[in-house]
Amino acid sequence: MLIDDWWSRYREIIPDFERFLAALALPPPVYLRVNPRRTNAAALQDRLAARGVRLESVPVPGAFRADGLSRPGSTSEFLLGHYYVQGLSSMLPVLALAPEPGQRVLDLCAAPGSKTTQIADEIEDRGLLIANDFKIPRLRALQSNLERIGVTCAAVTSYRGESFPGRISFDRVLVDAPCSGEGTWRERPPRRSRDWDPSQPERLHPLQLRVLSRAADLVAPGGVLVYSTCTYAPEENEAVVDDLLALRSDLSIEPVAPPVPHAPGLTAWQGRTFRNELGLAARIYPHLVDSWGFFIARLRRT
């Protein structure tokens, strides 16, 4: 199977599909978040301007598009922790989570720590932030990012998300799930199915449901659970949330309102219908936001 045949499965659900395909051929811009522990936006702007980089505001507080920053991970400002490089759409799940200073927050699939460091900013480094990831090599990147950025409220753990121990409950839980990652396929996507696995969306669904289900156990009553992926596949998105809601009556979907153009979650896909409330979830597409593709759903434990 060629990648174009694969994309055609989304022709009916992605608005303005030809523009979507055109966006996939282009590299996404570099975005960064200023690290308030080490610097501020004006000072960073001055330092990067000396390198010919122009920072342009985007609708996420403290974040910028960095034009002209060709090797964002090798500047002295990066090494000193003045900024964190993160796709604009990857910043949106934490906005949906809306954690507050002093809260207990669990980031269940955290490595390499983009969203963990963003959560630490949102809670002003106050509270308890558990950054968990099952894959040991990725924990090194997580740990080093937390140190580089200077986060002090986080502890790192390494459990399978689906069996994370239930000794404490959390005000906020983020499941940024392992997924097929189609949303990141821009500029150089895999060309043929031997380079990727077309059965992945179906195969990942049970794991995603188990991890999300355990996450729901860990949310305190009244707390918020956010589920996100960087893929378009409904099997990994709406179908996972729909199946979770069929299993539990103590969760309700709340609207996700990212401050960027987006499309609603699907209520039907290939003959299967999902509950109407899934329309409150958000789908982020690269032709609407010049970044990666994402899916975000917000649930509250009643």
Cα diameter, the chain? 56
Q: Does 111 bind ligand SAM (CB under 6 A)?
A: yes
Q: Does 87 bind ligand SAM (CB under 6 A)?
A: no
C-alpha 53/C-alpha 32 separation (Å) is 12
Alpha helices, H only, 66-219: 76-79, 92-97, 114-122, 136-149, 200-218
Element (H, E) at 170: strand 170-176
Element (H, E) at 3: helix 3-7
Among 150, 178, 189, 279, binds ligand SAM (CB under 6 A): 178
**Residue span binding ligand SAM (CB under 6 A) among the ranges 25-33, 109-117, 218-226, 285-293:** 109-117
Please name the amino acid found at residue 159. Answer: Y
Q: What are phi and psi of 132, to 5 degrees?
A: -115, 140
The reply to whether 153 belongs to the active site is: no
Task: Please name which of 232, 240, 229, 223 lies closest in space to residue 278, comparing C-alpha atoms.
Answer: 240
**Residue span binding ligand SAM (CB under 6 A) among the ranges 14-22, 111-119, 248-256, 263-271:** 111-119
Give the nearest distance from C-beta 228 to ligand SAM in angstroms: 8
Give the nearest distance from C-beta 212 to ligand SAM in angstroms: 11
Size of the site for ligand SAM (CB under 6 A): 19
Give the nearest distance from C-beta 109 to ligand SAM in angstroms: 3
Angle at 152 between CA 147 and CA 158, to 5 degrees: 70
Q: What is the b/e burial string over 82-100, where b = at least 16 CB atoms within 10 angstroms of the residue's CB?
A: bbbebbbbbbbbbbbbebe
C-beta of residue 212 within 8 angstroms of C-beta of residue 244: yes
Among 28, 81, 87, 161, binds ligand SAM (CB under 6 A): 161
Residue tagged 């699907």 (tokens): 266
Selecting among 109, 153, 179, 230, the annotated active-site residue is: 230
Among 171, 176, 238, 242, binds ligand SAM (CB under 6 A): 176
Q: Does 138 bind ligand SAM (CB under 6 A)?
A: yes
| Tokens representing residue 151 in the block | 């986060």
Residue 91, helix vs strand vs coil: helix
C-beta of residue 123 within 8 angstroms of C-beta of residue 151: no
Helix 114-122 / helix 136-149 crossing angle, nearest 10 deg: 40
Q: Closest CB to ligand SAM among 277 and 286?
A: 286
Q: Does 37 bind ligand SAM (CB under 6 A)?
A: no
**Residue span binding ligand SAM (CB under 6 A) among the ranges 40-48, 62-70, 159-167, 258-266:** 159-167
Among 9, 37, 47, 160, binds ligand SAM (CB under 6 A): 160
Give the nearest distance from C-beta 144 to ligand SAM in angstroms: 12
Q: Does 32 bind ligand SAM (CB under 6 A)?
A: no
Among 84, 134, 227, 295, binds ligand SAM (CB under 6 A): 134
Give the nearest distance from C-beta 261 to ligand SAM in angstroms: 22
Q: Does 99 bind ligand SAM (CB under 6 A)?
A: no
Active site residues: 230
Footprint of ligand SAM on this chain (CB under 6 A)?
90, 108-115, 133-135, 138, 160-162, 176, 178, 211
